[in-house]
Amino acid sequence: MNDYTTPSLEITDAVLELGDGESLVRALDEVSLTVMPGEFAAIVGPSGSGKSSLLAIAGAMARPDRGTVRVHGTDVSKLSKSATTRFRLRNIGFVFQSGNLIPSLTAADQLRLAGRLAGDRHVDVETLLDSVGMAHRAKHRPGQLSGGERQRVGIARALVNTPSLLLVDEPTAALDRQRGHEVVALLADRAHNANVAVVMVTHDREVLEHCDRIFEMVDGRLGAHALVN
Ligand SMILES: Nc1ncnc2c1ncn2[C@@H]1O[C@H](COP(=O)(O)OP(=O)(O)OP(=O)(O)O)[C@@H](O)[C@H]1O
């Protein structure tokens, strides 16, 4: 389903206000961002600057008050609630801080379940686990895996629906330096070799060397560049 000329993510002039009355916060202030298939974009910025809000509208978990969000050409802010859920399951992958795996399921079954939820009963579990270097751990449960291995399974699970867009929240938070580099290098590999657009929020400036583009959020506004330490 991927063509390589339509942006995987196109956010235009998005405004998102949270809270109300005196506690009203403009979490996103006229944010625009375009990410093409195969690009790996990082979002950095201080706590409270709006990074999670950006991921939330990109993943159609929240609707901006103004502006548009297109995922692979579809304006997700115009879809009904049920259509949004279906669209998300089929087109967007999510990777969370600590893998967020289900404790009782083996690595292979985590992927099978995700496939069924996305409406695809014929997931090639072995190839997917192999693509993240985890084929040899297919029968292990999360408790039998290291933090880095859990993240790898989480990434494979997020790729089950062959998403055009992969949204990644602080993937190195629970990892040591080397494992953090390995996981982010794996995300770069998937972006470049599976042509997925990856948008990663991170506090970890050390891993930015793996990214193609770096953006900095400050007070709800997105800047084009950030300094890499
Ligand atoms: N439900 C809410 N109601 C009111 N304000 C909110 C709500 N959620 C977030 N905010 C505010 O919106 C702004 C952006 O928050 P957001 O979580 O997007 O920032 P962040 O950059 O992801 O922060 P962190 O790095 O700490 O996760 C912050 O000022 C926050 O306090």
Instruction: Give the model's pLDDT for residue 71.
Output: 97
Say if pTM beats, i.e. exceeds, 0.95.
no
Nearest CA to ligand 1 atom 17: 52
Instruction: Give the model's pLDDT for residue 122.
Output: 81
C-beta separation of 161 from 114 below 8 A: yes
C-beta separation of 208 from 54 below 8 A: no
- CA–CA dist 10, 196 (Å, integer): 14
Give CA torsion, residues 116, 120, 122, 125, to 10 deg. -70
Question: ipTM of this model?
Answer: 0.94
CB atoms within 10 A of CB 187: 25
What would the two tokens of residue 134 be? 């985890």
Pocket test for ligand 1, best of 15, 17, 18, 47 (most atoms within 8 A of CB): 18
Pocket test for ligand 1, best of 17, 22, 23, 51 (most atoms within 8 A of CB): 51
**pLDDT tens, position by position, 153-203:** 999 999 888 899 999 999 888 778 888 898 899 899 989 998 999 999 998
Instruction: Give the model's pLDDT for residue 229.
Output: 45
Q: How confident is the model at residue 3 (pLDDT cuts 50, 70, 90)?
A: low
The response to whether residue 48 sits with its C-beta less than 6 Å from ligand 1 reads: yes
Ramachandran category for residue 99: left, alpha or beta (phi over 0 → left; psi -120 to 50 → alpha): left
Atom of ligand 1 nearest to the CA of 203: 25
DSSP assignment of 200-226 equals EE-S-GGGGGG-SEEEEEETTEEES--
Mean pLDDT of the chain: 90
Cα-to-centroid distance, 197 and ligand 1 (Å): 24
Q: Which domains does the chain have, with CATH numbers?
A: 9-223 (3.40.50.300)
Contacts of 118 (CB under 8 A, 6+ apart): 89, 90, 160, 161
Instruction: Give the model's pLDDT for residue 118.
Output: 82
Between 225 and 11, where is the model more confident? 11
What is the percent of the chain where pLDDT is above 90? Answer: 67
Cα-to-centroid distance, 78 and ligand 1 (Å): 24
Instruction: Give the model's pLDDT for residue 177.
Output: 87
Instruction: Give the model's pLDDT for residue 228.
Output: 53
Q: Report the pLDDT averaged over residues 26-51.
A: 95
Total count of residues recorded for the chain: 229
**pLDDT tens, position by position, 81-135:** 999 999 998 899 999 877 789 999 999 999 999 998 888 778 889 998 988 889 9
